[in-house]
Chains A and B, each alone.
Chain A
């Protein structure tokens, strides 16, 4: 049996302490390839660093990776500074990364390429986004350091070429951590002045780190969204910054930017002079052409022989009058013909025919009505005769012919019983050929059992 035992936690902590006490593991410089890269939503980066034979888990916390100037990707070779320790919960040793730079290509170059690609994809470099720089400005703004060679180069260039332009300088930090925010602020401030025709954003030459503010995304976006067109002139001829790509016009140096910003006054003077000469030349030419035309017209047939011309016109007039008369007669005849044709058509479409058709129909219906009525009447008549014969057979009159009579009392009621009447009452006897008014003298009732 084992006399003493350890907990897993105690063992893990023991191992972890071993790692932490080892000087070789507390500061490690490592070279490897990134794989399984994951940028967690909370800001931490997790990945595996590997070479041909081995791999190690790595984590770069948000506090460290915030200052990275490039976005790590799978397959990227990097150089890392960090420490190795144990992640107790999983019992795993891993690399805690403090700093990381791309191997082979400089971190700044990579960041530059990545931002350039991103903004290009968004269309910020599109030629269609470029605004036109007014060739003859009245007011220009300059965003640059108020000290240094760049501003002096720009001012003396403008002064030499076009001293009549108004200049507003917006002093800005052009290097260091604060520069990007300051540049953005100055672009915004310059945009408040609507009289500014265009802006120069410039900086003298320097290292890639010194020029870096001009490669910052927020600066590039500020340049892209500026309402006032912007000319960039950053660094030397060989330097290219992101701002150069988004600017409306790109100059290789501050001096070149100033040259693009203003025209050469002497050129303008020459242009005005040239325009004035052309104007006079064209005007004189026009007058000359008019005069030539006048001479030509004066020499014309009509001016030379006006009578012949009139006679010719008279003749022409006669012919036209004749033609007119003929045309009118023809027109009248044509209209008459049209009228005849129209009335013939009208006759064809006259309602008489329809009326006679309707009349025939009425006649037919009347006859049918008569016929039906006659038939109905005859039917009824036959039936009436038949009923009459039957009635005749049942009629009391035929019985009366055999000697019977009908007695009515004074109210006209038929007397069917001796009890209906009283002695002395007047009654009426109806016989087949007349009436007898009589008076009851005696009533004898038959005796029944």
Chain B
């Protein structure tokens, strides 16, 4: 696992937390603006994650730990 690995779930959770914060009345305007900017950035990240990813392939892992590509039928 790489150190700065961001997961989709965590990012969505963060985005939802930001929305929650904006719902509160007493949030200062400066904070609200930075929340909004952060939220937009997060939602773009999620969007990118879903749209511009390369399709993964399935591998068979042999007992020696070697990879063998598998063709997926019905595509």
- Say what secondary structure dominates the interface of chain A: helix
Q: Which residue of A lies closest to B72 (CB)?
A: A155
Which of chain B's residues have a CB closer than 8 A to the CB of A155?
A: 58, 70, 72-73
* A67, CB-defined interface residue at 8 Å: no
- Do B56 and A279 touch (CB < 8 A)? no
- A138 and B2 alpha carbons, distance in the complex (Å): 13
- Do A272 and B43 touch (CB < 8 A)? yes
From 116 to 171 in chain A, residues with beta carbon under 8 angstroms from any chain B beta carbon are: 134-136, 138, 146, 152, 155-156, 159, 163-171
Interface mask (B15-38 → A, CB under 8 Å = 1, otherwise 0): 110110011010101001001100
From 265 to 318 in chain A, residues with beta carbon under 8 angstroms from any chain B beta carbon are: 265, 268-269, 271-273, 275-276, 278-280, 282-283, 285-287, 289-290
- Which of B18, B22, B39 is packed against the most chain A CB atoms within 10 Å? B22
Which of chain A's residues have a CB closer than 8 A to the CB of B32?
A: 283, 286-287, 290
Known A156-B72, A272-B46; contact A169-B59, beta-carbon cutoff 8 A: yes
Interface mask (B39-75 → A, CB under 8 Å = 1, otherwise 0): 1100100110011011111111111000000101111
- Do A268 and B8 touch (CB < 8 A)? yes
Known A269-B51, A283-B22; contact A171-B73, beta-carbon cutoff 8 A: no
- A289 and B24 alpha carbons, distance in the complex (Å): 11
CB distance from B73 to the nearest CB of A (A): 5
Q: Which residue of B lies closest to A134 (CB)?
A: B9
Which of chain A's residues have a CB closer than 8 A to the CB of B40?
A: 276, 279
- Do A163 and B51 touch (CB < 8 A)? no
Which of chain B's residues have a CB closer than 8 A to the CB of A159?
A: 72, 75
- Do A168 and B59 touch (CB < 8 A)? yes
- Do A167 and B59 touch (CB < 8 A)? yes
Which of chain B's residues have a CB closer than 8 A to the CB of A271?
A: 12
- A285 and B29 alpha carbons, distance in the complex (Å): 12
- Do B43 and A279 touch (CB < 8 A)? yes
- A195 and B7 alpha carbons, distance in the complex (Å): 13
Residues on B lying within 8 angstroms of A by beta carbon are 1, 7-9, 12, 15-16, 18-19, 22-23, 25, 27, 29, 32, 35-36, 39-40, 43, 46-47, 50-51, 53-63, 70, 72-75
Residues on A lying within 8 angstroms of B by beta carbon are 134-136, 138, 146, 152, 155-156, 159, 163-171, 185, 189, 194-195, 265, 268-269, 271-273, 275-276, 278-280, 282-283, 285-287, 289-290
User: Closest 5 A-B residue pairs measured CB to CB?
Assistant: A282-B22, A167-B58, A276-B43, A279-B39, A283-B36
List 17 other contacts, CB 8 Å, given A136-B9, A185-B63, A269-B50: A156-B73, A156-B75, A159-B75, A165-B56, A166-B56, A167-B58, A167-B59, A168-B58, A169-B58, A169-B60, A268-B8, A269-B47, A269-B51, A278-B19, A279-B43, A282-B19, A290-B29
